[in-house]
Amino acid sequence: MQTHPHPFPISRVKIPNRQAIALISEHGDPAAQIGKDAAGGQNVYVRQVGEALAKLGWQVDMFTRKSNPDDATIVEHTPHCRTIRLVAGPEKYIPRDRLFEYMPAFVAAFQKFQQQEGITYPLAHTNYWMSGWVGLELKKHQNLQLLHTYHSLGAIKYRTVDNIPAVAQTRLAVERQILEQSHCIISTSPQEMDDLRQLVSQRGRIEIIPCGTDIDNFQPISRAGARQELGLDPQAKIVLYVGRFDPRKGIETLVRAYAQLLERSADAQNLRLLIVGGSDPQEDDGAERLRIEGIVNSLGIGASLEFVGMVGHDRLPLYYTAADVCVIPSHYEPFGLVAIEAMACGTPVVASDVGGLKFTVVPEETGLLVPAKDEAAFAQAIERILTDDLWAQQMRKQAVTRVQDNFSWTGVAVQLSDLYRSLLARSILQPAMFRTTLISTSSRSAIARAS
Ligand code: UDP
C-alpha cells in the first residue's frame, strides 16, 4: 500500500482561494489547435491571456460555442484554466455572419452552466461583438463586471468589403452598446482607441492593453539552422506571409508586389515567397486561396512561390527566423499578432500603415510601414530591406528588444489582472452590490485572492 507523507493525497487537495472569472469567445475556440484549425488571432489571444491569468492566481473558465459534436465539452489546459464548449445552435461550423441568431441560446447555456456548477462569475471579459452582446445580456441578470476586447470593428470592416452582410446594422448597434455599457473596453492599440472614439462613441471607458506573444516560443534562433530544418536554400532572399486567407489580409497586394520585385531585381533567381496559412477549402477562406492562386498563375510567378499551408506555433518560429522579411499587407488590422511574432524572432516587418501595425512596427527601426494596397510601395520597401544587410541586421536586434520590452503575454496578463481587481474592488464599494450578498462576497474574495 502506498503511504502519503501528507494527510491527503496531493491530487485530492483542492487549492482554495481562486476567484473564477469567465473569458467569453463565442467563435474562436481557445482550445482549437492554432495553425491546424481555422484559427486566427482571437483564439491565440484568449488562450494565451487565459493561461497567463491562471498563472497569476485566477481560475479562468473560457467559454466558446461547440462547433463539432466530436469536440470535448470541457478541455483542461492547465489546472486552473479550461475551455468550456456550450451548445448553442447546431454543433457544426457556422460562418460568423450567420452566428448571431444563436447567441440567445449561448446566453441560456452559460446561465445553465453557472447554475449546475454553483458559480456566479463576478467578471466576464468578452471577445468580439457577439460575445459582447452575450455579456450585456448576462449583466442584466447578474452582478457582473464586464470587460470587452473588440478584435475587429464593424465600422471599419464594412468600409473595406463589397458585400455588406445582413447582420451589419445589428453589429454596428451592438458595438456601440458594448462601448457605452461595459465597465471597460480593452483597446489593443492607441489607433484602435482613436477609431472607437471617432467611429463608435465618445462615451464609455477605454484602457489600452496590447496583445502579446509567447516570447519563449517566438525568440531568435539560428537562421542557418532554421533554413536547413525547412530545406530552404541558405543563399535565398526569403519573403514571408503568415495569416489567414481573407481578402482584407491583402495577399493580392503582396503577390503583385512580389511580381514587380521579380521583374526588376538583379537577383531574381534567388528570391522566394512563402505564403503560410489557409485552411480547408470548404471553410470561409478557401475561396480566397483559389483567387490568389489564380492571380499567381496569371502573373506567371508560381515557380519561386510556395503555398506552405497551415503551420502550428511549434514550427512557426522556424519560418519567421528563416525569412529575410515578413510582410503584412492587411487593409486593416486591429492589432496584428503576426507582426510581433515575426519581430520577436528578429525578422523585420513590412506592413500596411494601418491600425495596430502603426503601433507595433517602428518605421526604420523594426521594419517599414507603407500605404495599404500600394503594390509599388510594398515592392520598394521589401527591396530596401533585402538589399541592405547592415541595416537589416540592426533591425533584427531592435525588433527583438521591442517585443520583449512591450508585448510579452505575462506583461499583458499582469495589466489585465490589475484592471480586473480594480473593477471588482469598485463593484464592492457600490452600495447596490451589498444587496447581493452572494456576489459581493465572491467579488470581495476575488480582490484578496487574485494577486
Ligand atoms: N497562424 C498560425 N498558423 C498559420 C497562420 C496563422 O498559427 O498557418 C496564427 C499566427 O501565428 C497568429 C494568428 O494565427 O498568432 C493570426 O493573428 P493575427 O492577429 O495576425 O490575425 P487574425 O487572424 O486575428 O486576423
Q: Which of 276, 310, 338, 403 to mutate to test the pocket of ligand 1 (most atoms within 8 A of CB)?
A: 338
∠ CA 260-265-266, rounded to 5°:
160
Please indicate, yes or no, whether residues 202 and 232 belong to a single structural domain of this protein. Answer: no
Per-residue cell: 74? 470541457
Query: How many domains, the chain?
Result: 2
- pLDDT tens digits for range 200-233: 999 999 999 999 999 999 999 999 999 999 999 9
Encode pLDDT of 71-110 as tens digits. Answer: 999 999 999 999 999 999 999 999 999 999 999 999 999 9
Q: Are both 276 and 376 inside the same structural domain?
A: yes
Q: How many A from CA of 41 to the centre of ligand 1?
A: 5
Amino acid letter for position 426: R
Would you say 325 and 385 are in contact if contact means Cβ atoms under 8 Å apart? yes
Residue 228 and residue 330 in one domain: yes
Residues 297 and 149 in one domain: no
Please report the pLDDT score of residue 430 as a whole number. 67
Measured over all CA atoms, what is the biggest interatomic distance in the chain, rounded to whole angstroms? 77
Residues lining ligand 1, Cβ inside 6 A:
34-35, 40-42, 44, 242-244, 276-277, 310-311, 313, 316, 335-338, 341
DSSP labels for 397-432?
A: HHHHHHHHHH-BHHHHHHHHHHHHHHHHHHHHHSGG
Mean pLDDT for the chain overall:
89
Task: List C-alpha distances in Å: 166 to 101, 246, 332, 420.
Answer: 12, 19, 21, 35
Q: Tell whether the torsion through CA atoms of 208, 213, 219 and 223 is positive or negative.
A: negative
Q: Is residue 217 part of a domain?
A: no
Of 136, 139, 49, which is closest to residue 416 (Cα–Cα)? 49
Residues 339-347 have a mean pLDDT of 98
Question: pLDDT tier at 162 (50, 70, 90 boundaries)?
Answer: confident
Question: Is 416 part of any domain?
Answer: yes
| Cα 42 to ligand 1 centre (Å) | 9
pLDDT confidence tier of residue 10, bands split at 50, 70 and 90: very low
- Asked if the structure places residue 61 within a domain, the reply is yes
Is residue 62, in this structure, part of any structural domain at all?
yes
Assess if residue 130 is contained within a domain.
yes
From ligand 1's centre to the CA of 98, what distance in Å?
A: 23
Q: What pTM was computed for the model?
A: 0.82
Residues 394-423 as b/e (b if ≥16 CB within 10 A, e otherwise) read ebbebbbebbeeebbbebbbeebbebbbeb
| pLDDT band at 161; cut points 50, 70, 90 | confident
Is there a single domain that holds both residue 175 and residue 206? yes
Asked whether residue 103 is assigned to any structural domain, the reply reads yes
Same domain? For 415 and 390 the reply is no
Listing DSSP states for 265-302 in one string gives -TTGGGEEEEEE----TTSTTHHHHHHHHHHHHHHT-G
Residue partners of 50: CB distance under 8 A and separation at least 6 = 23, 30, 60, 62, 77, 81
Check whether residue 179 and residue 293 sit in a common domain: no
Which domain does 89 fall in, by range? 2-212+411-450
In this structure, the answer to whether residues 130 and 261 fall within a common structural domain is no
pLDDT at res. 39: 56
202 and 242 both lie in a single domain: no
| Residue 2 grid cell | 502506498
Which residue's CA is the closest to the ligand 1 atom numbered 10? 338
Beta-carbon contacts of residue 314 (< 8 Å; ≥ 6 apart): 217
pLDDT at 294: 96
Ligand 1, atom nearest to 276 Cα: 8
Q: In ligand 1, which atom is closest to the CA atom of 249?
A: 25
**Percent of the chain with pLDDT strictly greater than 70:** 88
Confidence band, pLDDT 50/70/90 cuts, at residue 429: confident
pLDDT in tens, 382-396: 999 999 999 999 999
Contacts of the segment 187-193: beta carbons below 8 A, 24+ positions apart: 187/150, 188/149, 188/334, 188/335, 188/356, 189/334, 189/335, 189/355, 189/356, 189/358, 189/359, 189/360, 190/359, 191/354, 191/355, 191/356, 191/358, 191/359, 192/150, 192/153, 192/334, 192/335, 192/355, 192/356
| Residue 235 sits in the same domain as residue 365 | yes
User: What is the per-residue pLDDT across 293-330, written as a single tens digit (0 to 9) for each?
Assistant: 999 999 999 999 999 998 988 999 999 999 999 999 99
pLDDT score, position 446: 40
Closest CA to 402 of 336, 318, 344, 351: 344
208/311 same-domain check:
no
Residue 121 counted as domain residue: yes
Residue 349: φ, ψ to 5°: -120, 135
**Mean pLDDT score, 263-290:** 82
Residue 218 located in a structural domain: no
DSSP secondary structure, 131-199, as one string: HHHHHHHHHHHS--EEEEE-SS-HHHHHHH-SS--TTHHHHHHHHHHHHHHSSEEEESSHHHHHHIIII
- The CATH number of residue 103's host domain is 3.40.50.2000
Segment 331-338 shows an average pLDDT of 92
CA dist 448 and 68 (Å) reads 39
Mapped onto helix, strand or coil, the DSSP state of residue 20 is strand
Structure confidence at residue 1 as a pLDDT band (50, 70, 90): very low
Residue listed under C-alpha cell 525547412: 230
Contact 244, 38 (CB under 8 A): yes
Q: Are residues 186 and 273 in the same domain?
A: no
Give me the residue label for grid cell 481562486.
18
Residue 405 has a pLDDT of 93
> Candidates 316, 320, 357: which one to mutate for ligand 1, based on the most atoms within 8 Å of Cβ?
316
- Answer yes or no: is pLDDT of 279 > 90: no
